[in-house]
Amino acid sequence: MVYVLQMKLFVSELMYLIVGIDPGKTAALACLDMRGKLVCLTSRKLAGMEWFIDTIRKLGTPVIVSFDKKNSDKTIRKIAAVFGAQIYLPKTDISVERKKKMTENISVANLHERDALVSAITAYNAYSNKFKQAERLAKENNFNETDYLKALVVKKYSIDEAIKGKKSGRSMSIGR
């Protein structure tokens, strides 16, 4: 079963995403927008890389691909590489108790979806202060593309550099 809570219709309007992945025999995928809103939560038995990539592509451009373990799985690394996304791993494996607490008010179909969702939420939370700062400075500078700004911040651009379009010798394109 696929839960798609928000989807843009035109390719040019696809959103930037924070993606949580739980690979395995039953694979799960959770996507948040750059404001932390759940966009997609789904799982599938015997899903391969193609399923992850196709599902993500239909929704948008991942900026972060995350996992709930401190050590990366090869699937996470490959998916991040396909999209040129950053990988987010927690400093320690996220405990089952913490996962339950983080998702107690959210309906998930199975433990795999819960793990993927917790991965995405944890990654979002790790960047939330920077995202709030980016929103504030975007508003002060009349910069309307806040999600794009946040995506650049994840890619290690300073907020000022991103708002003013300074390139510092680097390309400023992200999935555009």
Contact status, residue 66 vs residue 18, Cβ threshold 8 Å: yes
Q: Span 22-44, mean pLDDT? A: 95
Range of the domain at 87: 2-127
Each residue's pLDDT tens digit, 45-99: 998 899 999 999 999 999 999 999 999 889 999 999 999 999 999 999 999 999 9
Tokens 């739980």, residue? 22
Tell whether 152 is covered by a domain. Answer: no
Tell whether 157 is covered by a domain. Answer: no
Q: Span 14-36, mean pLDDT? A: 95
Residue 66 contacts by C-beta under 8 Å, 6 or more apart in sequence? 18, 19, 20, 21, 76, 87, 88, 89, 119, 120, 122, 123
Tell whether 166 is covered by a domain. Answer: no
- The pLDDT, as a whole number, for residue 166 is 64
Tally the domains of the chain: 1
Tell whether 38 is covered by a domain. Answer: yes
Neighbours of 37 (CB within 10 A): 12
- Give the tokens for residue 101: 């607490």
- The pLDDT, as a whole number, for residue 62 is 97
- Say which range, 1-10, 34-43, 140-149, 160-169, has the weakest mean pLDDT: 1-10
Tell whether 141 is covered by a domain. Answer: no
- The pLDDT, as a whole number, for residue 73 is 84
Tell whether 59 is covered by a domain. Answer: yes
| 79: nearest Cα among 58, 60, 53 | 53
Tell whether 159 is covered by a domain. Answer: no
* Helix or strand (DSSP H, E) at 41: strand 38-45
Tell whether 164 is covered by a domain. Answer: no
CATH number of the domain bearing residue 111? 3.30.420.140
